[in-house]
Amino acid sequence: MPTAYTRGVKDTLICPTGETFPVAPRDPAVGYTLDELYAHLNADVIEVVPIVGGNILIIDEEGGLKALPWNKMASQFAGCCIRGFALLAAEGNLR
């Protein structure tokens, strides 16, 4: 997986199963809306985790409280335990 992303490049949804899917904001000029992020992550509250290379992981802040499955790949990026879906994105794609 690439370590750096640029605006307009598709981001990556990381599933707890290890599967990954390319995703992009509906309007790349604006970035992701909260509604888009809630839908991608199946979450009510999101958290932004900064990672190296100017990227971010956007996660379900309540993943641990909901006892969601461990996301090994996202946890490796973040250096901490991530539960549930995670969106690996360029920092500029969050508005």
Q: List, for residues 17-27, the tens digit of each pLDDT value.
A: 999 999 999 88
How confident is the model at residue 6, as a pLDDT?
45
b/e per residue 7-33 (b: at least 16 CB within 10 A): eeeebbbbebeeeeeebebeeeeebbe
- Res 3 pLDDT > 60: no
How confident is the model at residue 95, as a pLDDT?
67
pTM to 2 decimals?
0.85
Q: Please list the helix, strand and coil fractions of the chain in percent, rounded to the nearest 5, in that order.
A: 20, 30, 45
Would you state the structure tokens that stand for residue 61, as one six-digit string? 């802040």
Q: How far apart are CA 14 and CA 42, in angstroms?
A: 13
